[in-house]
Amino acid sequence: MISMNENIDRPEPILPRSAWESQIAYLRAVFRAKKALDEIERVQNEKT
């Protein structure tokens, strides 16, 4: 029986945790920028 504390040949993550976190921060910033640009576009289209 394998105890829970033993390391079971898990593959190493493709990217370290810090890289995932910075990628998530980048995607959040891109998403916020897209929302802002979409809102500007929507307001401009309402004026015409």
Residues 15-39: pLDDT tens digits? 667 777 889 999 999 999 999 999 9
Query: When comparing pLDDT for 46 and 11, which is higher?
Result: 46
Q: Taking the CA atoms of 41, 43, 44 and 48 in sequence, report the sign of the dihedral they define.
A: positive
Q: For the chain, give the number of residues.
A: 48
For residue 45, what pLDDT is reported? 94
pLDDT band at 13 (very low <50, low <70, confident <90, very high): low
pLDDT band at 44 (very low <50, low <70, confident <90, very high): very high
Q: Answer yes or no: are the C-beta atoms of 9 and 3 closer than 8 Å.
A: no
pTM (two decimals): 0.56
